[in-house]
Homo-oligomer: A and B are copies of this chain.
């Protein structure tokens, strides 16, 4: 049996990454795990997020996967080295592909990063970007996730919130802004309205390219045949199905609740 591409996220947001993977590699089978019983990760400590990430990864490895995608910025920021040490398959996070892309597109070397409290506190993006010789300005935007989950994509409230969060970054003259949370691409419209003419870097696309590159290089690409997409969640599938539709732009079939073994 062909092994699948494994993707996990704290909840629903990682579906934006899965969507790009499916669009780039339509023949591949995928298994997605959303840790909806413990979502969000963005306000939790490094230690707790790392433990959750390892538990999720083990569950997916037991399902038979050939590559693991950590489709959550906070989990990527806090747990990628640990996962790469523990697992014998390739592990791809969303932080490095996003940072690399920012380096490619910035002209003035001034890059903004927005994300959850955890992602920003981890300084994971800063570390990489400063290593590339870029100037970094970062800002946590904790209300963006609940605004997206509420479906307030194009509301006055959302615009005012974005203004409050983003104007300080705009004043710093950044020409590139990394959307360092998988929920944020859904707010591209409002973010552009506040930021004006800047490059928005969406890690989802970059991460999908990285997955393809690794599979190509290792000869691990699936050859033909229909693809199967399976979904697991740790809380009841009901809310995941309802909200997930907005992220995957598709109906979610085959969503099952699982109890993942804890460390």
Contact = CB atoms under 8 A, between A and B. Distances in A.
A48 B44 contact: no
A45 interface: yes
A146 B152 CA distance: 14
A260 to B, nearest CB: 12
Given A37-B44, A38-B37, A239-B43, A147 B143 contact: yes
A37 B43 contact: no
A87 interface: no
A142 B143 CA distance: 11
Contacts of A47: 236
Interface in A27-68: 36-39, 43-45, 47-48
Nearest to A239: B43
Interface stretch (A14-22, A156-164, A182-190, A195-203): A156-164
Contact of A262 (B48, B142, B262): B262
Indicate the size class of the contact surface on chain A: 20 to 34
Contacts of A236: 45, 47-48
A235 interface: yes
Contacts of A38: 37-38
A210 interface: no
A142 B149 CA distance: 9
Contacts of A43: 39, 149, 239
A104 interface: no
A238 interface: yes
A150 interface: yes
A37 B40 CA distance: 9
Given A44-B36, A44-B37, A235-B48, A150 B160 contact: no
Contacts of A152: 143
Interface in A96-138: none
Contact of A150 (B39, B45, B142, B157): B142
Interface string A230-263: 0000111011000000000000000000000010
Nearest to A43: B239
Contact of A157 (B48, B164, B234): B164
Given A45-B238, A45-B239, A145-B146, 7 more contacts: A43-B149, A43-B239, A44-B235, A45-B235, A142-B150, A143-B157, A155-B164
